[in-house]
Amino acid sequence: MRDLRTTLVQSMLHWEDAAANRTLFSGKLDGLRGKTDLIVLPEMFTTGFTMNTALAETMDGPTVHWMKVQAASTDAAIYGSVIISEGGNVFNRGLFITPGGNVTHYDKRHLFRFANETDHFTAGKERVVVEWRGWRVLLQICFDLRFPVFARNRGDYDAVLYVANWPEARSFAWSQLLIARAIENQCHVVGVNRVGMDGKGIHYTGDSMAVDPKGQVMASCKPATDCIAHAMFDAAALQDFRIKFPVGMETDDFELKV
């Protein structure tokens, strides 16, 4: 396990325009080769948080292809969520793609009922941890942040990624919950949120950040600005902290039903 260079890409999004958003992010990722191991994009980074499932792509569609090209050109894994149609269902799907073209996906478990996401998308059932350059990484999406049982560290991950379209009206909860997830799970946490106004008139201030296992903010983006921020995850410090303060030994047993 080595230190992990992590890049947070906070950005506005073109509403329901996947091609424009791919072009937008291509420009932002240009020049990152050799500078990072992991790039994190917002939730539904090609469309914004829309319920228009007619925009769904397939796993062999243009955005998956684009992510593979970007991962290869930057020599880094990329994580973000996209509207994906598969097997007659539509998912808010997190895609974790490595430079070699390997694709791991996580389907958003906790759909945002208050925006009718439950009426248009199928909820995922599986909790997904992917290994990357020695790190075990839990994949999560937006509203999942409010459900600590689902994200409870069972000794099976070292970092958790939250990609989001989290509105300005609840920005305080966003920042506090990211810190809480890091402290309670003794892990690194990354939260990447969009900025700007979407096609429904909802405002987003971003407030993207990386948090260390003690709850200290390692890197952050200024609110309401496009931003690329970098954080170095220290492998030795994480392992030393867990050894010296093994809070997980007192974790309560539980069964998660999905």
The verdict on whether 184 is a catalytic residue reads no
What's the first-to-final CA gap in the chain, in angstroms?
A: 32
The verdict on whether 142 is a catalytic residue reads yes
Q: Which long-range contacts (CB under 8 A, 24 or more apart) does 202-209 make?
A: 202/49, 202/167, 203/167, 203/168, 203/169, 204/165, 204/166, 204/167, 204/168, 205/168, 205/171, 206/10, 207/166, 207/171, 207/174, 207/175, 208/8, 208/10, 209/8, 209/175, 209/178
Tell me which of 57, 117, 142, 227 is the catalytic residue.
142
The verdict on whether 257 is a catalytic residue reads no
Copy the structure tokens of residue 148: 């600590």
Residue 111: name the closest of 95, 99, 97, 123 by CA.
123
CA gap 116, 103 in Å, rounded: 28
Tell me which of 16, 43, 57, 117 is the catalytic residue.
43
Tell me which of 16, 68, 108, 117 is the catalytic residue.
108
Kindly list the catalytic residues. Answer: 43, 108, 142
